[in-house]
Structure 1
Amino acid sequence: MAEKGTRSDHSMRVFWRVTRWYFIALTVIALVVLISHWLIQGHLINQLNDSRIVNVSGRQRMLSQQLAKQVLKLLPDNTPAERKELRRQIQESLNLWVHSFHGLRGGDSTLQLPGQNSEAILQMFDDINEPFQNMHLAALEILDSLDKNINTNYENLLPAKKSILNNEGMFLNGMNNIVFQYDKEAKAKIVHLRKVEFFLLLFTLIALILELIFIFIPTAKYVRRNMRQLANAQEKAIQKTIEIENLYKAKEQSVQKLRALNYALDQATLFASITLDGNLTYISEKLSAFLGYKGKKPIGQLSTVLTKNDVEQQYIDQLIRSLRSSIWTGEVSITDQTDEKKWLELSFVPVNRKGVKQDYLLICSDITPRKTAQAELQKLNQERFELEIQQQKLLSAQVIDAQEKERQRIARDMHDGIGQMLTALKFNLEAINLEKIDKAKLKLEGTKELAANLIKGVRIATFNLTPPELTDYGISPALSKLCSELQKLTGKNILFENKTNFDQRLDPIIETNLYRISQEAVNNAIKYANSSYILLAISHSEDLLSISIDDNGLGLHDDLNTSQKSETTQLGLSFMKERVKFINGRLFIRSEKGKGTRITVNVPI
């Protein structure tokens, strides 16, 4: 007995020691998880603040431009009503602009701006404070003049108007720098969080390894030793297990009855009770009213009570005959007593009671609105699919037509240009008579000129098909060459500007599509917009390449907003949109009638 007591005491000491270390290990892991969650949640909150700050900062640029545009609309010939409307618009823009500026700088709970700016951002705000104050004071001066006299002389408004326009550029540049700095600091926070997360992961792995070495392995040895002891007590446990199983069966029957009752009370308000052969023994008031019965509750077979339709009755009867001793759930269509089509989700729950044959508890849910919505959705999806097929067919036809026109143009250029020059070159060579030296020299000079023109024509045709600069050097040199060549051929001012000295190579498919989009935009400006000045500019950031084409032509207003559209221009714009979509980019077109067009293409890099 003393030996057994000693073994028992030793086992308990081992057990409590293992339990203590196991609790310590779990506590460490829990602390690591909680700290990780706290850090990540804090960072997510900061990320929400950062996104809100960047959004408001971007809006500041728009508001400053909006304020400048509204001030520009103040003209000598404005009517009093127009000046009152402009005064109201300037006041609204100015209030939001000033409120957002102070909120970004010092925080504002109404704008959800924390105001926790770094020293660099605060310095940037100090740098743009002077143009901001100048614009603010000038706008207030204009509002004050209009408040005193809505018909005040235009000359009185001119100094303040010039002050706003002179300071707008500096303010916009400063806000751009602030937005970029906000974005830079947000990325730095993410990098820091990754390091912290990696450290916590490493610490968690070390804790798990230590737990494996000092807790799980000793515990496994201890359990294996005790399993031998438990084998001796197995025979005694078997007898007790039999007794427990008998008690468990009795308990399970009670649990099943309670489960069926709870399921009916908690999950459904439409229910009934039926026998094994489908005869209705009870129906709830709500289900009876739902089926359209008034007054006395219906009796009889469940199928005839639920629906008036013969086919639906046969299906329900067959369903009841196929039921087993498990819960069945499914959807059934019925026709109620008012001839209205409805959908029910039925659940047959078997109920076993002592001394009574098994019956079923029927639980129903009305799913008619959901089924109606699904049918409508399926109809809309089918209509949308058919519309997309028609649009795809139309686009394919346009692409094939454009390809055929391009082939015809190439053939025409080869025949009218290069073909005729080759023919003339052949005739000149055949007409050379070496016996008449002077005439032969003249013929040779003409032949040289024809050969030079022929080479030029071949180069132009090759350049229009695939410029060698695009393949050899990339998109920037190719666009520069495009502008210089088109300037020589057309005599128009076609300029190229690489604002950020972009010289990276992109995927050949992306470069080819960007070149064709730019070529199409410049050609449209030359042919259809009657432009005399075209500027093609390229710039980039860390993850975005931007190409813009500006011209001073007639604009695309009529082509974009009237029913009589230019087929060629519309087809060109459609091709540009498809190319931009193919390379996962975005296309922006801003045009005003008589004031030119700006086309901007942005692609990720």
Structure 2
Amino acid sequence: MMENGKAVILIVDDKPANILVLESLLGSPDRTLISANSGSEALKKALEEEVDLIILDVQMPDIDGFEVAQLLKQKKRTRDIPIIFATAESKEHSFVMQGYSEGAIDYLFKPLDPDIARAKVAVLLKLQMQQKELREKNISLQNAALLINNSADIIGIIDAESFMIEEINPAFQVILGFSPQEAINKSLFYFLQPEDESRVKEMLDARKDRLSFETYTLCKDQTWKWLHWNIVVSKEKWFVNTRDITEQKFAEKRKQEQERAEQSLKQHKLITEVTIQAQEKERTELGRELHDNINQILATVRMYLKMSATNPSKQEELIARSADNLDHAIEEIRKLSKSLVAPSLGDMGLLVALKELAEEINIAGDLKVSVITEITESIKIDKNMEVMLYRIAQEQLNNVRKYASATHAVISLSMDRRHLSFSIADDGIGFDTTQKAKGIGLKNISSRVDFYSGDLSINSEPGKGCELEISIPLH
């Protein structure tokens, strides 16, 4: 069949007049007629063109029709082309049988009967077209079978009512270890876990014509594999294509673990960096406190002691003043030490420590701090987390006292089964959170919260105070 869809008929005769007669009888829009004036030319055209039917004159000078037919049947390309012999020779039985033995399908006897000639050609062309279509379908089926049998994916057919496997390719054995014979006539769910069976049956309730799902499936050798199923539902059958995605799953898991490790390393680096910055800040503040406060008190004591040595009349008074200043210095050192270590956390817990912190600030008088909580002192929180929250309270209240110009601050603490919530709110001057960059204090707080995979938010506007909110998951 030519590309334009027309049947190709090759007319072979050494007499041009006979060719013209056949062309006039057989010509139609759905046919292409080509001709040859000799047996040699006929062989050449049959090999070059895709011919559907040959009308072959028996008596030709170079090679007669029988020899041409014999040669055509020897070639793979031309052996299946039907041949009609056209002859004016004897109709004797032996002559006709010789033609059939050389591969003829039928005869046209000269002079030609137009109706018989047209009918025979039409019938033979129809049969040839049907045979050619069958051959093409067989080739397609063979190719499809090769693709299915050599596919790395499981391909099969399952009854949509009984879920019985009707057909399955060899990949089923390669992937799961069960041979096709072991699989056929067994339910698909024989090879799946009960939870997968329930999940698939729930999907069926949606009445979709396509299903897609993953299963973690036990193989015949007791190993486990991840499978991705694609199913097309048609005419009460499931057409299944299943891929082994075990390596892909493991690769994704390794990637996620690597990303978590990289994130953890990055987080620890950040925590280390912020911790070092916080330590430097604490050292700086400690140095300033020792220099500006305690050092000045001790310098005053030294001055009084020197004066007492040269002023005997005031010696007792100066020594008394020195003792008072030494007591003051000791108290300041005690306060400074307590700001660096929270002794209440060891025995009495976070709630007591926060209340003591609030009381100490309240004594100073510049800021009134309240502690609000529904948590009782009997409820225990992880000790490291308690210290972390106490340090955050110290840091934030220190920021409030220095920068917020606030008169009141409230520490709130609550907890449910999943989260611990902690907040510090003040009524100070506030700030624009979109403009003000985080200082070392807030970075230190953020790093502490990140360590526990918590969430930190700061809500503030100019003139409306500030609220620091923390939520930490409880595992």
TM-score range, shorter chain: 0.3 to 0.5
Q: Which has the higher helix share?
A: 1
Q: Which has the higher strand share?
A: 2
TM norm structure 1: 0.35
TM norm structure 2: 0.43
